[in-house]
Structure 1
Amino acid sequence: MNAKLTWKQRILVGFVMAVAFLLVLGSNLLDRRHFSTVQNTIESMYGDRVVVQDYIYQLRIYLHDRELEVSGDDSTVKDNESYGQITTILDDFAATELTREEATFLKRLRRQFSSLRSYDLSTVDREDAKSKMLGHIQSTKTTLDALEEIQIEESGHLTEISEKSLSVNVMLSQLEIAFLIIIGVSILVLAFQPIRTLYPIH
């Protein structure tokens, strides 16, 4: 016995299938969006935080070398070649994605490294010059400390964003699976029990 569906029933079935398709499509688009967010945060974590930590480490080494030279008996600080490398590091640092606070500290850091070259230890009052230069180095280290704190905070923030996106992805995936199961069962019911389910006419 062949079962026929009324136009109203056919429209209802088509509407249900269309809604199911749109919900699955929307879920897929949200999944892609969240995966893109995770990918961007991972790239930012490396390019804007891990690499910057290495920049800060190199700047600390430079300052440590200057401290050793100032504390020694040599009246000159041989930093011409090293300072060229520092300028490159600062430029690379500036090319990363900076927070507003980070940009402010970086500008201060540029001024501090530039001023560091102006100290002359060959003056008559060398001890006073040494004391001032060591104080300036310590001040520059404080700025580096502030920048390092920002890296830690921003890394934590990026990690939090990634974890939230992954959690939402997991939830959406579970809802999508549940919804697909419901659709599958509904289709089976429609396929094997059309008369009882939709009350077709003969």
Structure 2
Amino acid sequence: MKTYNKIKWLLGISMVFVLIVTTNLIDRNNFIQVKDSVTSLYEDRLVAKNIIYDMSVSIHDLELAIVTDSSFQADNKIKTTKDHLENLIVRFETTKLTKEEEKVFKKFKQGVQDLSAKSAAGSRESIDSTLLQSSQLLKQKLNDLAEIQLAEGGVQMGITKKAVETVELFTSIEIYVLIFLAIVIQIIILYDPKRSSKES
């Protein structure tokens, strides 16, 4: 095989190799985005939503205890609820929080910390009234956190959709470029400068 033919083959194979490596790297990057987005949807949104639900149930149970139980049982329920909420707070902090989430969550944590202080001063009726008001504020913060989960879930779905569309686009482009390169390689391989100079 002559040097000129070797160069033609090398050029043709190199073009295909470069195209395949380039599209593979682009596809790999997009698949990593999809994987990260799906992981975030589960770990940072669905798990967080479940924790928020558990917190809401605890606060609802606390409200029931305040309204229906004796003062001793209500005091015990306040302590149990506060401990349970603090455990859930620790779990919630392991999820990835947005800046808005951090602000709302900080206020929620402060509200949970204040439960003990509010249950210690005043008459039973004023304590119950104050605790019920506090529980309403806590529930509002949980509703705000739940709305953020929904919005952030939509953002992650958008990232996933965009990455998948990019993969589809590059796959289509890759097919057309491969067809074009196949034609170019055929021309390079079949072209013989000696034969064309003889014909002229």
- Interval containing the TM-score (normalised by the shorter chain): 0.7 to 0.9
Unpaired runs of 5+ residues, structure 1, are: none
Unpaired runs of 5+ residues, structure 2, are: none
What is the correspondence of 1:12-23 to structure 2 with a 5 Å cutoff?
14-23=10-19
CA distance in 2, matches of 1:149, 1:119: 28
Q: Over residues 116-149 of structure 1, what are the superposed CA-to-partner deviations in whole Å (9 max), with x where a residue is unaligned?
A: 12233795x3222222111111111111111111
Letter in 2 for 1:65: D
- Aligned pair count? 193
CA distance in 1, matches of 2:82, 2:131: 16
Letter in 2 for 1:61: V
TM-score between both structures, scaled by the size of structure 1: 0.84
Conserved? CA contact 2:33–2:163, under 8 Å: yes
Q: Does 1:41 align with 2:40?
A: no
CA distance in 1, matches of 2:2, 2:154: 58
Conserved? CA contact 1:31–1:169, under 8 Å: yes
- Indicate the percent of aligned positions where both proteins have the same amino acid: 26
Conserved? CA contact 1:6–1:200, under 8 Å: no
The residue number in structure 2 matching 1:132 is 130
TM-score between both structures, scaled by the size of structure 2: 0.85
Conserved? CA contact 1:5–1:200, under 8 Å: no
CA distance in 2, matches of 1:200, 1:24: 32
1:26 to 22, 29, 46: 22
1:60 to 52, 56, 59: 56
1:150 to 148, 169, 175: 148
Conserved? CA contact 1:75–1:122, under 8 Å: no
Q: 1:6 to 1:119 in 2, by over 3 A?
A: closer
